[in-house]
Structure 1
């Protein structure tokens, strides 16, 4: 579990710099340049993900049960993660009502994804992983909304066509992940 913790600290730490140390971040970008900053950010992010994945895999070998999820919770999680995929997709499709309503649709989707997985996983390592992502995403949503207010950001009005595009892309991505990639990459088939 130590490797999982180290990976989470690196990944969440790097992704929290803008919230916790914006002036320091700006100074580093000014000092080294945007390309160098993005390169180091990407390398540390990848390192954090790799360590978290390896650590999670190792922790799954010797799980510490904390609670037993109720019957059917995998289906609730499936529904919530489908919605989360749609929310995350909204961040990348311009002119949709979801982005305008949420302001921070990607991290809002991450929050819902993490919450959904907390409902269906009762082991200590799973609870740690998803709780950390839930807390981080809630902090990031608040900080992002504050940045938007301070910068006077107003999201464009959405169109129904773009909303449909967001929903279709999000649900297709969710289906591919839930029915195929989740089992291949995570080793767990959510729907059998």
Structure 2
């Protein structure tokens, strides 16, 4: 489980710099340039993801049960992750009410995704992974909203057509991942 922890520290660490060390981040960007900063950020993020995936896979070989999720949690997780995919999609579809209402739809979607997976997974490694992502995303939502207020960011009014587009794209992406990709990529088929 050490690789999983190392991956989480690296990935969440680099993604938290803006929240915990914004002046240092700005100084590094000023010193090395935006391209170099993004390059190091991307490399550290990729390495973190690789360590998380490998560490999670190794931890699954010797699971430590903490609790047994009740029947039906997989279905509730499916519903909540479908909503999370719509929230993630709202980040990229301009002019939708969801983005305007949430302000930070991407990290809000990550929070819902992590919470949903905590409901359906009772092993120590799964709880560690999803709890870390839940806590991080909630901190990021709060920090992002504060940054938006301080910068005077106002999301434009949404349209119902854009809302519909957001929901359709999000649900299609969720269905493709849940029914086709989750098994081969993650190793678990959530719907059999």
1:148-176: CA deviation from partner (whole Å, max 9, x where unpaired): 00001100000011101100000000000
Deviation at 1:125, TM superposition (A): 0.0
Structure 2 unaligned segments of length 5 or more: list them. Answer: none
Ranges in structure 1 where 5+ consecutive residues have no aligned partner? none
Corresponding residue of 1:149: 149
Q: So what's the TM-score if we normalise by structure 1?
A: 1.00
CA distance in 2, matches of 1:164, 1:31: 44
In 1, Cα distance between equivalents of 2:46 and 2:156: 32
Whole-angstrom CA distance in 2 between matches of 1:15 and 1:84: 20
CA shift, 1:93, in A, is: 0.6
Equivalence for 2:14: 14
Residue 127 of structure 1: CA displacement? 0.0
Q: Give the match for residue 179 of structure 1.
A: 179
The ranges of structure 1 where at least 4 consecutive aligned residues each deviate by more than 2 angstroms after the TM superposition are none
- Trace 1:154-165 onto structure 2 (pairs within 5 A): 154-165=154-165
2:128 aligned partner:
128
Q: Distance in 1 between matches of 2:31 and 2:156?
A: 34
Q: Which residue matches 2:47?
A: 47
Q: 1:2-34, CA deviations, whole angstroms, 9 ceiling, x for partnerless residues?
A: 000000000000000000000000000000000
- The match for 2:29 is 29
Q: How many Å separate the matches in 2 of 1:46 and 1:161?
A: 36
**TM-score of the two chains, using structure 2 as the length reference:** 1.00
For 1:180 and 1:39, how far apart are their aligned partners in 2? 32
- Quote the RMSD (CA, aligned, Å): 0.3
Q: 2 CA distance for matches of 1:94 and 1:88?
A: 12
Distance, in Å, in 2 between the alignment partners of 1:110 and 1:152 is 24
- The count of corresponding residues between Structure 1 and Structure 2 is 192
Partner of 2:84: 84
Q: Which residue of 1 is the match for residue 59 of structure 2?
A: 59
For the residue of structure 2 that corresponds to 1:161, the secondary structure is helix
In the alignment, the residues of structure 1 paired with residue 18 and residue 116 of structure 2 have an alpha-carbon distance, to the nearest angstrom, of 26
